[in-house]
Chains A and B, each alone.
Chain A
Amino acid sequence: MTTWQPSDLQRERLAYRQSRARRSTLIAAASSVVLIGLLAFGIGSTPGWPRVRETFFNLDRGWEALPVVAEGIWLNIRVMIVCAVLIVILGLTLAILRTLQGPIFFPLRFLAAAYTDVFRGLPLLLVIFLLGFGVPALQLKGMPNQAVVLGGAALVLTYSSYVAEVFRAGIESIHPSQRAAARSLGLSYPQTMRFVVLPQAVRRVLPPLLNDFVSLQKDSGLIAVLGVVDAIRAAQLETAEDFNFTPYVVAGLLFVAMTIPLTRLTDWVARRQGWYGGGGGLV
């Protein structure tokens, strides 16, 4: 057993590839530096820039506002996590209902389709207002009165209709031969869905699902209209004190900082599960 040594030709190939890679990196770095330099110079030399920097990018003010805005974003995070779980459950249920086969299930299919049509069409803000101010106005005993609960319910209703459509697209993208093969092995319809169709379908729609959750993360702030204080509302309150907009920028940075790790995580999970994008494998 001698250890494998790459041939001279292979070494030459590797060296060539490395040199090309180094060259690409250098060019990319240089062009980035030039572009950023041009942008910075262009914006920095406008007459209004000092005023804009003072109003939007004031470090001291941002630092001062950070704890308040961070407390607000903690609400966004909690609302998003709880709603995301409920949305996945409800969305998947709706998608399965819509893909049931056979005439006997027509009413279920019809109801699920009607639900997605209505709640995808209604503006989210309207649903939040209707639930958040409408339900308490009924003065029902035992109904929740908290803004967070009612706002969260509105988010779940609206977003599960989006997510249901994403799941349905995934389910319908699985080739019929997969089902046929599963049924011919003696799996029942529920087993076919559970072991063959859904695992492939969910894997396929991870990226668009994540898209909806990033969007949910930002829309979770809309429940602020019911009186609760989220990151954006906290920034607004800070801004009202001295008319400086830096707290808004701080809130924006926090949102972006939350989104990026989530995206990377999903990409990694998808890759590990053998999702290569574009439906192709290693070519």
Chain B
Amino acid sequence: MKFPLALVAVLLAAVACAPEEAGTSPSPSAPSDCAKDKLALKTAGTFTIGTDKPAYEPWFSKDDPANGKGYESAVAYAVAKKLGFEPTDVKWLTVQFNTAFAPGPKKFDIDVNQVSISEQRRKAVDFSTGYYDVSQTVITTKGSKIAGAKSIADLADAKLGAQVGTTSYTAAKEVIKPKQDPAVYDTNDLAVQALKNKQIDGIVVDLPTGFYMTAAQLDDGQIVGQLPASGGAAEQFGFVLEKGSGLTSCVSQAVDALRTDGTLAKLQQEFLTGGGAPELK
């Protein structure tokens, strides 16, 4: 009985500011609905995008989301363009990861922060369709005890680390099932520091971040390998929108169009290190 009540409240709130049906699943609607002047924006004429600070490489560049460099920044501008916004109409907003999904009205139209789409999370927020297929990776330093690991079983004795609130942590716990609980860090930077200090043997991160860490943050970093998806389903990053947002279907359409016309692939080539990593079975 709780859920319908909450839904009714959300519907009422949505009706107050958005003249559209608030669906939880992106329903295909006529493109005319997504005309720039019909969009349910927070500020008319401005496309407000949230992300956390600091914004990390390779998703953003130089901690400045507004420069259009870095994969997520570039995709966000591409989505804005699809919806009819010039780069000058885009306003970036610092939104802490936790506040992105707290209840209540949001200040942003969309939030982009390497958030993985999951059915459980859909209860609290709307997601666009995925703009990046994520695979989780284990990285380490040369000469560590897992540097030569060839399979998941070889990682069982390792002390691993991951960032709090990420699917990387979930993968570290549930896919690898190590004997010691993984260490949890507020940021990936702290995890890297702990790896340098030899307090942990390896870090679980998404592949692009793993490439960035081993290339730029660690002197003798190496990628151990990719983990299979937990639960079998491929993991994707999606834009976060307010629950019941009138924008969800339009943003999803824009993302789908970018995938179809090859823009996403092009931006991935430009900003994310190509190539894969050996698969750990």
Contacts and interface: CB of A to CB of B under 8 A. Distances in A.
Given A137-B193, A145-B198, 13 more contacts: A47-B13, A50-B9, A56-B103, A133-B197, A136-B197, A136-B199, A227-B199, A236-B165, A239-B165, A242-B123, A243-B101, A243-B125, A244-B124
B231 interface: no
Interface of A: 47-56, 58, 133, 136-137, 139, 145, 147, 224-229, 233, 236-237, 239-245
Count class of interface residues, chain B: 35 or more
Contacts of B200: 227
B116 to A, nearest CB: 10
Nearest to A47: B9
A147 B183 contact: yes
B186 interface: yes
B230 interface: no
A51 B2 CA distance: 9
B199 A224 contact: no
B265 interface: no
B5 to A, nearest CB: 4
Contacts of B184: 224, 227-229, 233, 237
B165 A237 contact: yes
Q: Which of B3, B13, B197, B200: most chain A CB closer than 10 A?
A: B197
B196 interface: yes
Nearest to B170: A241
A13 B186 CA distance: 65
A229 to B, nearest CB: 6
A73 to B, nearest CB: 15
Nearest to B123: A242
Q: Which of B123, B125, B169: most chain A CB closer than 10 A?
A: B123
Contact of B198 (A47, A58, A136, A147): A136
A225 B186 contact: yes
Contacts of A56: 103
B8 interface: yes
Contacts of B197: 133, 136-137, 139, 145
Report, nearest first, the 6 A-B pairs whose CB atoms are least far apart: A227-B183, A240-B165, A243-B124, A242-B120, A136-B197, A243-B101
Contact of B164 (A139, A145, A236): A236
Contacts of A58: 2
A243 B111 CA distance: 15
Contact of A133 (B164, B166, B183, B194): B194
B158 to A, nearest CB: 14
B134 interface: no
A137 B120 CA distance: 39
B124 A242 contact: yes
A229 B181 contact: yes
Contacts of A55: 102-103, 124
A55 B191 CA distance: 30
Contact of B166 (A54, A139, A239, A240): A240
B18 to A, nearest CB: 15
